[in-house]
Amino acid sequence: MANVVRDPREHPEAILPDLTKPDPLVKFGKDDVALVYGSIWKQRYFTKIGDDYFPEPAQWDITNHIWRPYFVANGTDWWATLYPPDNMKRPTGPTCDGCHSVNYDIRTKTVTEWNVGCERCHGPGSEHAARPTRNNIVNPARLDYVQANDTCIQCHSQGRPLTNPIEGKYYDWPVGFQAGLNLQDYWKLEEHTLGETTFTHFPDGTAHKNRMQGNDFVQSVMYRRGVTCFDCHDVHGTSNEAQLKEPANAICLDCHGPNSSVGPRTKTLEEHTHHKAGTPGSECVDCHMPKIETTLADVKVHAHTFAFITPAMTDRYKIPNPCTTCHTDKTTAWATDALRHWPERSPWRVE
């Protein structure tokens, strides 16, 4: 279970920064924090007023160990203009809590449990707990690839409910959806027009912000071939980054490898990557899953289209490419010329 949300009264160690150290952004203390959100990239702090939670206006950048403001400004999310420009008037129930809990009730504002517990992915479980059979529980692995992936996409995507507002509030998660149902009956992915840069997408359609793994993935060849999120990830927990079943390259090479019909079509990986094994640029994710999607300030996460973004696309669409993102002292022209001289690279796939 992903322990994103924690109560600091039960887990005082959950608060990572020292709240007693003065900072002009921090206007709250430990006793004001009812829930802590996050422990990997950023950490946010929710105070409780009545039966609602509200985000404090400062967040901790875990990577850089500094405080940053937290406020969703107009143009950075679709719902920003629909709520007052004050964090204390923007309850987290409609915008956050549905995906960070099990069975959030929009009327009572209560949850079965915080975090992504069993029923979030397997549906109602009381009957299964009483009389365990495979017929009274949802197993995403036995669903078709669309429904299986929707188990993850329900929260790992940018979109909005088909009906909004719901009982007077605008929700940023698929209210009413449970694993095994059809997500398209509750949720639509954020639309994108090719050539336009929006608060969610680069002009080519790749996401440029976090929580859009699903938006990326449904565009991919992997998705069209029936690959699922849990072919690579094990949400029950692993010792690998991002709950991967194996180290990233090992997962890729389970299906892809030298002279493979699904690529790469070279005798060795080094001939494909043009980088020595073990160096930057030699891992599959370096070029096919570049870190270009912003989670906070300069902290980026991996794209999930698995497409190679050429330097020419940077020139045309201003989307970062993995070549000059790594070789920061080089130009896109240099990178494009290098690709043209790679013997296995089709000249029709360079521009």
Q: Is residue 313 part of a domain?
A: yes
Q: Is residue 104 part of a domain?
A: yes
Helix/strand/coil (H/E/C) assignment for every residue in 117-179 = CHHHHHCCCHHHHHCCCHHHCCCHHHCCHHHHHHHHHCCCCCEEECCCCECCECCCCCCCCCC
Of 116, 151, 176, which residue constitutes the final position of a domain?
A: 116
Q: Is residue 87 part of a domain?
A: yes
Q: Is residue 2 part of a domain?
A: yes
Preceding peptide of 264 cis, ω within 30°: yes
With beta carbons less than 8 A apart as the criterion, state whether 123 and 136 touch: no
Q: Is residue 1 part of a domain?
A: yes
Of 59, 87, 116, which residue constitutes the final position of a domain?
A: 116
Give the pLDDT score at 165. Answer: 97
To the nearest 10°, report the CA torsion of 204, 210, 212, 216: 40
Of 116, 133, 153, which residue constitutes the final position of a domain?
A: 116
**Which residues span the domain enclosing 319?**
308-351
Residues (pLDDT < 50) of the chain are none
Tokens of 310: 């050429």
Domains: count for the chain: 2
Give the pLDDT score at 2. Answer: 67
Q: Is residue 182 part of a domain?
A: no
Q: Is residue 67 part of a domain?
A: yes
Among 250, 235, 227, 211, residue whose Cα is nearest residue 306: 227
With beta carbons less than 8 A apart as the criterion, state whether 196 and 203 touch: yes
Q: Is residue 216 part of a domain?
A: no
